[in-house]
Amino acid sequence: MSFKELWESILKCSFEAQEVIKPYVHVTPVNLSATLSRICGADVFLKYENLQKTGSFKVRGALYKVSKLGRSVKGVVTASAGNHAQGVAYAASSLGLPSVVVMPESASTPKVQATEGYGAEVILYGKVYDDAYQKALEIREARGYEFIHAFNDVEVIGGQGTIGLEIINQISDFDIVIVPVGGGGLISGIASAIKAKKPQVKVIGVEPEAAPKMLLSLSSGKPISIEPKPTIADGLVAKTPGEITFEVVSNLVDEIVTVSEEEISEAIYITLERQKTLVEGAGAVGVAALISGKANVKGKKVVAVLSGGNIDLTILNKVLIRGLVKVGRIVKISGYVPDAPGYMTRILQIIAHHRGNVLDIAHDRSDLKAPAWHAKITILFETPGPSSTSEILRKLKDEGFNFINES
């Protein structure tokens, strides 16, 4: 099949998918972000696929794929520990089919429960994705179910492409669209729709530095396998792009940029604080590319796709603490203090007086750098902001306590 034929068949699927999936999905909003627009010197719009059914765009491709399977199909099976699992479970239940999702044994309980909640039978198998994948293929054979690939499938890609068609309906003129890249199904669908309707729009893909499979494949001229490192954008971890997605991305995507773990974390924090919306790491990479300046959008009208919001709350907790430290709302100070009654009370009174709220105190008598009969005191506290912290440090100094800000 030539690329033109492939592109045409994806587009055809996207147009058909729009109608097929309509009863089961939300038309997610696209809104201007004043904060991101100010930071980037551009008009930045966000497409809220984190508010989609099941919390990510994945239902679109899964629903369309399942709808195309024909009457003789007995059920569907897939391997995934992520959003695809929930998408397939929801799609199969919505269309009245049984589904099996195989996840590695390490899959988190909330993910297992969510997938079961959407009606799938979840089987935990093996240590890594590849083990689960092999098991899913066995189940396909044994039960005669259809396997649903997460990205390398024209109909799945076509389903994801409905996002591109939706964006075009929601805002008339825009210059750039920014899309997260895992295996490449999402960006292939969106690029196919947007380049067909608005060829002048630039399509930028974003990968984590920890898993730059598409970027490296493009520079090698063919899909190559990488060893991904752990990343907070776990939805974007794939060893290799698909043959189909690689071909679409090589032909239609203008640029791929990569973002660091720190940038992704900051993007989750800013999106929550400013937009009041929760995105997972994979869903935040577009915002990370914007705030880090990796995507050059100055003076342009841009749409960034927030592709999902299913973040593990323990990870969110870490992101928020790091974010609060970064903006100076949580600080750690330390100093040497005489190891005698009454000193700690005075220090804590000064902190409390300036509305500092203590989270943790360490009192270390074993620090050999401490002067004789002194202990090293480290205090972690919430503060209204950097000016209160400076005031606290100044007041402590006035009282003879030499503390430094360690944050």
Nearer to ligand PLP, 154 or 282 (CB): 282
Among 184, 212, 286, 323, the residue binding ligand PLP under the rule CB under 6 A is 184
Of the ranges 5-13, 20-28, 126-134, 175-183, which one interacts with ligand PLP (CB under 6 A)?
A: 175-183
Nearer to ligand PLP, 80 or 388 (CB): 80
- With contacts defined by CB under 6 A, name the span among 40-48, 76-84, 112-120, 257-265 that binds ligand PLP: 76-84
* Closest to ligand PLP by CB, 126 or 308: 308
By CB under 6 A, name the one of 282, 295, 330, 392 that touches ligand PLP.
Answer: 282
Identity of the residue, 185 or 356, whose beta carbon is nearer to ligand PLP in the bound complex: 185
**Interface segment toward ligand PLP; rule CB under 6 A; list 17-25, 119-127, 277-285, 360-368:** 277-285
Q: Which is nearer to ligand PLP, 55 or 323 (CB)?
A: 55
- Tell me, residue by residue from 140 to 159, as one string, x for binding to ligand PLP by CB under 6 A and - for no binding: ----------xx--------
- 132 forms part of the interface with ligand PLP (CB under 6 A): no
- Binding test (CB under 6 A) with ligand PLP, winner from 18, 33, 52, 56: 56
Residue in the block written with tokens 């997972």? 280
Determine how many CB atoms are found less than 10 A away from the CB of residue 133.
17
Length, in residues, of the chain: 407
- Decide whether 242 or 356 has the Cβ nearer to ligand PLP: 242
186 binds ligand PLP (CB under 6 A): yes
- Is 185 an interacting residue with respect to ligand PLP (CB under 6 A)? yes
229: Cα separation from own chain's centroid: 15
Q: How far is the CB of 197 from ligand PLP (least distance, A)?
A: 20
Q: Give the residue with the Cβ less far from ligand PLP, 44 or 179.
A: 179
Site for ligand PLP contains 47 (CB under 6 A): no
- Out of 86, 192, 307, 388, the only residue in the binding site for ligand PLP (CB under 6 A) is 307
Task: Assess 223 for contact with ligand PLP (CB under 6 A).
Answer: no
Q: Which C-beta is closer to ligand PLP: that of 233 or that of 351?
A: 233
Binding site for ligand PLP (CB under 6 A): 56, 82-84, 150-151, 180-187, 235-236, 280, 282-283, 307-308
